[in-house]
Amino acid sequence: MAEIVEAPVGGEEATSAQTRLPFESADSLLVVRDLVVHFHTDFGVVKAVDGVSYSVNAGETLAIVGESGSGKSVNASAVLGLVPPPGKVHRGEIIFQGQDMLKLDDQRLREIRGNRIGMVFQDPLTSLNPVFSVGAQVSEAVQIHEGLARKDARERATELLSIVGIPRSRERFDDYPHQFSGGMRQRVMIAMAIAMKPALLIADEPTTALDVTVQAQILDLLGSLQQEFGMAMILITHDLGMVADQADTVAVMYAGSIVEYGTVDDIYYRPLMPYTLGLMASVARMDQARSGRLRPIRGQPPSLIFRPPGCPFHPRCDYAREVCWQEQPELLEYDQQHLAACHFAGNLPEPIRKDEP
């Protein structure tokens, strides 16, 4: 099991189009290879995304999981060509439906964005313009991409609002964002995202700002829309429950790199990398009676400016040995379609558990 099957990603040579990602297939919708995004700040280079590769197949959901500062959101904005300054994509390929997004000009990129790739962000309040009515904003989205006349656009927007479950959408068309609740605003965002029946939906923490019962509504809506349109989805979240519920494949990010990548069952039931193990052990479980203390990961997530040398997780890792702070492990396939970046993946040594503070 610990045997190295192949070394598909990581390293410079992996950028060549021949190497195949574990989940890549003929109908892969999106293939990201060795993506590197850095932010040049006065205080050093923030290595937000540092050599990340993954792929999404049509109709499937890839969850990118990570804590704050893991680079998971920057990853998504890079796919959309929306890395905010002073961020810069340094290297890599983002192949969407056969085209390298990084080689397209702004015009083409805009056409793809919002047309074939939809996006939903965390905060539905700041994503909507407060001075335009909700309906106007949805019809604008429709007008831009579909080239509909004003009246038709209004018709289509009303239809979209009712698809995403806004009751009395015709009456509420002229309401302003502040008259909508958080959940309703998120529905509006989803309506705009799916207006063009995109092939891929990128949802960045889509329910973090919402209440639990509303979160359930939104997840339910996203799930049914996904089925209806056959959309693929990249779900970016820190919520392990939501990942278990939604994802087909999971990429766990830590300090700008993917540290484990596999099917949702592999990640949850057969984790290889100590960080994934630690994450699973540190969450409180609602479905189980209490069985003693939680086992937290010690320490704090690292800085992306001063990334620990070697394996970025080694300062917090119970299994770390000398090799871990000397060499950065590559993301390698240890099992069928199950990758991990760990020197001891699948063969962990005795833990050296230090006293937890």
| Least distance from another protein to the Cβ atom of residue 153, Å | 27
What is the rounded CA–CA span in Å between residue 157 and residue 141?
Answer: 9
Name every residue whose Cβ is closer than 8 Å to that of residue 170 and which is 6 or more positions away in sequence: 158
Give, as ranges, the residues between 127 and 166 that touch another protein (CB under 8 A): none
> Cβ closer to another protein: 153 or 304?
304
The two three-digit tokens of residue 166, written as one number:
């806004």
Name the β-bridge partners of 289. Answer: none
Q: Position 101: which residue type?
A: M
Positions in 182-211 near another protein (CB under 8 A): 183-184, 204, 211
What's the rounded Cα separation, in Å, for the pair 15 and 12?
6
Question: How far apart, in whole angstroms, are the C-alpha atoms of residue 58 and residue 117?
Answer: 12
Positions in 4-33 near another protein (CB under 8 A):
none
**Candidates 2-10, 20-28, 213-221, 335-343 — which segment interacts with another protein by CB under 8 A?**
213-221
Considering only 140, 245, 270, 348, the residue that binds another protein (CB under 8 A) is 245
Give SS3 for 248: coil
If the CB atoms of residues 142 and 277 are measured against another protein, the closer one turns out to be: 277
- As given in the structure block, the two tokens for residue 175 are 């309401």
* 220 near another protein, judged by CB under 8 A: yes
Nearer to another protein, 136 or 297 (CB): 297
The residue assigned the tokens 């990010």 is: 253
Assess 268 for contact with another protein (CB under 8 A). Answer: yes
Cβ nearer to another protein, comparing 142 with 161? 161
Number of residues in contact with another protein, rule: CB under 8 A?
91
* Span of 1-9, 34-42, 144-152, 188-196 interacting with another protein by CB under 8 A: 34-42
Q: Residue 185 CB: number of other CB atoms within 10 A?
A: 22
How far apart are CB 1 and another protein at their closest, in Å?
21
Nearer to another protein, 149 or 283 (CB): 283
- Decide: is 214 part of the binding site for another protein (CB under 8 A): yes
CA distance 53 to 71: 13
Question: Which of positions 100-119 make contact with another protein (CB under 8 A)?
Answer: none
What is the DSSP secondary-structure string of 88-105?
A: EEEEEEEEETTEEGGGS-
Sign of torsion, CA 73 119 262 102? Answer: negative
Task: Tell me if residue 245 falls in helix, strand or coil.
Answer: helix
Please, which of residues 289-348 interact with another protein by CB under 8 A?
Answer: 289-290, 293-309, 314-317, 320, 325
The total number of residues written for the chain in this structure? 357
Q: Which residue, 184 or 188, has its beta carbon nearer to another protein?
A: 184
Give the contacts of 102 (CB within 8 A, at least 6 positions apart).
Answer: 81, 89, 92, 93, 94
Residue 52: CB minimum distance to another protein, A: 13
The number of angstroms, rounded, from the C-alpha of 326 to the middle of its chain's C-alpha atoms is: 29
Q: What whole-number distance in Å separates Cα of residue 191 and Cα of residue 114?
A: 11
Tokens for 206, please give them. Answer: 């889509």
Q: Which stretch binds another protein (CB under 8 A): 41-49, 109-117, 155-163, 327-335?
A: 41-49
Site map (CB under 8 A) of another protein, residues 65-84, x = contact:
--xxxxxxxx-xx------x
Q: Please say which residue, 89 or 142, places its beta carbon nearer to another protein.
A: 89
Amino acid residing at 121: F
Name which of 70 and 158 has its Cβ closer to another protein. Answer: 70
Q: How far is the CB of 28 from another protein (least distance, A)?
A: 22
Can residue 41 be called a binding residue for another protein (CB under 8 A)? yes
- For the CB of residue 313, give the shortest distance to another protein in the complex, in Å: 10
Q: Smallest distance from the beta carbon of 162 to another protein, in angstroms?
A: 15
